[in-house]
Amino acid sequence: MHKFIPERPRYRKERIWVGYPLLAVFALLFLLHILDRYTSLPLDSLWVRLFAAPTIFLVPTVIFLLLRGQGYGRVLRLRAPRAIHIPLLLSALIALLSGCILLSILCKGIETLGNSAAQYESVSFSSPAEGVLAAVTVAILPALLEELLFRGIVVAEYERRGAFRGLLMSALLFALCHFDLRNLLVYLFSGALLTLVLYATNSLISVMLLHACYNVASLFGQRYLNALYHFTGSVELFLFLLILLLLTSAVLLMRFAAMLYRKRDQEGERDPQRAVPYNVQFYTVLDALKDPPLVLCLLLAILGFILL
């Protein structure tokens, strides 16, 4: 047991302020879900979503960035993707799609992709303009705003005491903020994979593009998933193809990530977050989870699992 629960080391106490914008986001999302579930307000319309997402995510994020002051943008990794990142991003997209499909099947059944497609699998758009609006509102805009918060600010704040803590907290909070217990594994997997891609590419914009592509594929890909399922003719063959696709893409992803890390080491770009001792990260994760705003976020998530 001592191997997994080390002795508490001595370290300077920290104060993490990111819990407050997170609490604002959780509270606004919880309120939106409650109103949508228990009232007749048309909150699920595309136009409402178009204005709700910036209000819920962008306002607390911008206020936090302004309070943090100038220069904070450097730690967010707001770098454009490079050509060398393309193989990794393609393999990550395939791993993300196949992994989330498999987990969604495990959680909800064969008929759903999990994530945004589950909400729109039976919707047909009346015009190309409506389809574009749906892509922007449901897929692209949420991806950009969620990544700015969870892979940008949350990772930057929590990784100060280790990359593992940054990955764990961003994936956990990303999963909980969706208030979807049945798809919790899907969101945990996708959140962790997106954070790993962030570390490998060192580019938040790359992760934003990856998340947006995944959401677009989830939104419009249900018919193609169903076609593939009927083409295979059996559940066993369909699942075998998905598992094979996931394993192959995961191996390629790890290989491309290792190549990027080696290149970065050769260029002298050091990553101090990877060198934080395990025992420090273990106890600073517990410290983060005991932070009052984070405790309230967890309570809102549990309440959402019960009521929604």
Residue found under tokens 């919790």: 184
* CA pair distance 126, 156, nearest whole angstrom: 42
* Ranges of residues in the chain whose predicted pLDDT is under 50: 1, 113-122
Model pTM greater than 0.75? yes
- 288 phi-psi bin (left φ>0, alpha ψ -120 to 50, beta other): alpha
The pLDDT of residue 160: 87
- Please name the residue ranges forming H helices in the chain: 19-38, 46-53, 59-68, 86-108, 117-120, 128-134, 141-147, 155-158, 163-176, 184-201, 204-220, 222-232, 235-266, 278-289, 292-307
Residue type, 302: I
Model pLDDT for residues 47-78, shown as the tens digit of each residue: 888 899 899 999 999 999 998 887 787 889 99
State the pLDDT at residue 17. 92
pLDDT attached to residue 119: 38
Q: At what angle do helices 184-201 and 86-108 cross, to 10 degrees?
A: 170
